[in-house]
Amino acid sequence: EAGVAQSPRYKIIEKRQSVAFWCNPISGHATLYWYQQILGQGPKLLIQFQNNGVVDDSQLPKDRFSAERLKGVDSTLKIQPAKLEDSAVYLCASSPKGGNRPQHFGDGTRLSIL
Amino acid sequence: AQSVSQHNHHVILSEAASLELGCNYSYGGTVNLFWYVQYPGQHLQLLLKYFSGDPLVKGIKGFEAEFIKSKFSFNLRKPSVQWSDTAEYFCAVEEGGSYIPTFGRGTSLIVHP
């Protein structure tokens, strides 16, 4: 089966600019996750979708970050405006709905803020 | 809030040595437990998981982990490591029914041939 697709792989922007990331989960996976992984740390969940509804976004900095999954399939994560501390790898993962559902991760987008 | 501690941040071993990586969590209720691995240049992938039943879980590539509820621990073990086990290892914990995972900061394992 095809894996979780993410683009772009790398992005370099200046602070205060905007950036968007795209994720296409594994076909049929109802649950989609966005994580932020800062160098030297584990992934931190930003937002979790079940189909096109938000399950949890308690750790999403909503003043600058937004995410959507309008048709319950692919998703975009946006940062506007970016800050230096947003430099990280942004990971997308998906899993089937229900029990025994390990997550399948994409390769991530490495974001560097200058 | 849930926290997950991985005590060893960097581990260096020679091939054939035994491995044990520690993972402790803070939540006192029902949990789902995972170990993920990230090989150099690759994405995170599941190594093994525990949802219920036998607390000794076997995963891919000869890895196993033991859930000890009284110690809030889920340590990863392998009796004899190989050079190809060089990777970053992450423990993750979900509070039962939440499907919201918390990851540890990871352990970098380097195995010398």
Tell if the CB–CB gap between B46 and A103 is shorter than 8 Å: yes
Query: Which are the contacts of B54, defined by CB distance < 8 A and separation ≥ 6?
Result: none
Q: How sure is the predictor about A1, in pLDDT bands with cuts at 50, 70 and 90?
A: low
User: Does A66 reach chain B within 8 Å, measured CB to CB?
Assistant: no
Tell if the CB–CB gap between A41 and B43 is shorter than 8 Å: no
Of A4, A2, A8, the C-alpha closest to A32 is A4
> pLDDT averaged over chain A?
92
Task: Tell me how far apart the terminal alpha carbons of chain B are, to the nearest angstrom.
Answer: 41
Amino acid at B41: G
Domain that holds residue B79: 4-112
In B, residues 46-85, which contact A (CB 8 Å cutoff)? Answer: 46, 49, 51
φ and ψ at A8, to 5 degrees? -75, 175
Map B8-23 to HEC letters.
Answer: CCEEEEECCCCEEECC
**B-chain residue closest to A41, CA distance:** B105
**Domain at B66, CATH number:** 2.60.40.10
The whole-number pLDDT of residue B1 equals 65
- Residues of chain B with C-beta less than 8 angstroms from the C-beta of A106: 43
* DSSP class of B40: T
Q: What is the count of structural domains for chain B? A: 1
Q: How sure is the predictor about A96, in pLDDT bands with cuts at 50, 70 and 90?
A: confident
* pLDDT per position as a tens digit, B29-57: 889 999 999 999 899 999 999 998 999 99
Give the C-alpha separation, A54 to A14, whole Å: 29
